[in-house]
């Protein structure tokens, strides 16, 4: 238990003690003057009841009674309790591939929508952990900083489309660089990246991405969305389907899931590759992965109103006033 005073302005109440002492002394002097005016000193023992020796300490009892009454009001000892809370907390950045191939519909309604649903379903089962969102294709952008506001994260995800990144491709290095900056103040044992992609159009920077993740103490869990059979890539213009992507020979391009780079990223950084085509299984496995890589953090919570001791001060105040009452037959100051 620590000594603590919630509001130091309450100490001004102690200024009442000198005021009360002044009135008691003034009353005693006034009473003595009245006695002297009424009768000479030699007659006072006969005319007035003799004051007991105990009554001489009544002024002190009054002051003590008022002192503890003031202490009970300001609750001098009340208020501070330190609670040490340990939590397993991780910081996770979801890195979402928004290249055009993520529009393929071999996983209905599309690979991108499946990826977003995986993240949303995971968020709905997370607590305390901080999450961020980065989107990438040929370039990479941060959509949401690390935060525990899961509802905001869901709102951000709902607005993500493949058109948010103009430079197409699949460059794994750039989102890892941005994530490393966001993890600067996070302990290395609690840094997680969940990278969701179809792995296609990899630009060959995975080795640099792996080296950076190892250096920064980042564990990467990769989730592959798409099928080996693949599907054509829809092309939209102002939200309208205009056809499917074709090569220089006019043949429709079929996009397929490529897992080699995704598996390499995960295994080289201590993470695992997950199959994202089964939503429920992918979400549960992902949550288990994040739980296993969560760091234990201690948080000290100061409660300023957890413990109060005013009742003890009030009891002491009542005790002193009770003494005055019991040993004062006239029920007045009798000083």
For 65-108, write each residue's pLDDT tens digit.
Answer: 888 888 777 765 555 555 655 556 678 999 999 999 999 999 99
Q: How many helices (H) and strands (E) are present in the chain, helices listed first?
A: 10, 12
pLDDT band for position 203 (50/70/90)? confident
Q: Which residues contact 62 (CB under 8 A, 6 or more apart)?
A: 20, 24, 320, 324
Tens-place pLDDT, residues 237-281: 777 888 888 888 889 999 999 999 999 999 999 999 999 999 999
Tens-place pLDDT, residues 28-60: 788 777 766 666 666 556 655 555 566 677 778
Q: What is the mean pLDDT of the chain?
A: 82
pLDDT for 332 beyond 80: no
Q: What percent of the chain clears pLDDT 70, i.e. is strictly above it?
A: 78
Question: Which residues sit opposite 119 in a β-bridge?
Answer: none
DSSP alpha helix (H) spans, the chain: 16-38, 41-47, 58-74, 111-123, 150-158, 173-182, 206-216, 260-268, 279-292, 310-326
pLDDT band for position 2 (50/70/90)? very low
Phi and psi at 217, nearest 5°, equal 70, 35
- Domains of the chain, each with CATH number or no CATH: 8-79+309-326 (no CATH), 86-299 (3.40.50.410)
Measured distance CA(285)–CA(291) in Å, rounded = 10
Measured distance CA(278)–CA(152) in Å, rounded = 25
Q: Which pTM was predicted?
A: 0.64
Q: Which residues contact 333 (CB under 8 A, 6 or more apart)?
A: 24, 27, 31, 58
Tens-place pLDDT, residues 281-296: 999 999 988 887 765 5
Q: Which residues contact 175 (CB under 8 A, 6 or more apart)?
A: 95, 134, 135, 136, 140, 193, 195
Phi and psi at 143, nearest 5°, equal -95, -35
pLDDT for 301 beyond 60: no
């Amino acid at each position: 238990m620590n000594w603590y005073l919630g509001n130091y302005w309450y100490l001004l109440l102690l200024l009442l003690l000198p005021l009360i002492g002044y009135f008691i002394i003034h009353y005693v002097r006034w009473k003595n003057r009245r006695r002297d005016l009424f009768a000479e000193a030699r007659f006072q023992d006969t005319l007035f009841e003799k004051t007991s020796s105990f009554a001489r300490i009544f002024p002190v009892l009054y002051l003590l009674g008022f002192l503890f009454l003031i202490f009970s009001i300001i609750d001098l000892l009340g208020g501070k309790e330190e609670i040490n809370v340990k939590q397993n907390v991780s910081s996770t950045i979801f890195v979402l591939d928004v290249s055009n191939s993520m529009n393929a519909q071999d996983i209905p309604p599309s690979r991108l929508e499946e990826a977003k649903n995986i993240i949303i379903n995971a968020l709905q089962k997370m607590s305390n952990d901080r999450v961020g969102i980065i989107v990438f294709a040929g370039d990479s952008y941060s959509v949401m900083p690390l935060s525990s506001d899961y509802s905001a994260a869901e709102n951000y995800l709902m607005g993500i489309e493949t058109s948010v990144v103009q430079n197409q491709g699949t460059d794994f290095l750039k989102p890892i660089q941005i994530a490393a900056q966001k993890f600067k103040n996070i302990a290395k044992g609690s840094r997680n990246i969940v990278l969701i992609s179809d792995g296609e159009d990899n630009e060959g920077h995975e080795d640099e991405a792996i080296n950076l993740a190892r250096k920064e103490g980042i564990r990467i869990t990769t989730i592959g969305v798409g099928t080996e059979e693949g599907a054509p890539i829809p092309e939209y213009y102002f939200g309208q389907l205009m056809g499917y992507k074709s090569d220089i020979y006019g043949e429709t391009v079929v996009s397929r899931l490529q897992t080699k780079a995704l598996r390499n990223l995960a295994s080289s950084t201590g993470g695992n590759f997950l199959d994202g085509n089964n939503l429920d299984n992918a979400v549960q496995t992902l949550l288990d992965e994040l739980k296993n890589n969560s760091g234990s953090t201690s948080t000290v919570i100061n409660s300023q109103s957890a413990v109060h001791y005013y009742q003890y001060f009030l009891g002491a105040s009542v005790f002193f006033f009770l003494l005055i009452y019991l040993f004062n037959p006239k029920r007045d100051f009798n000083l």
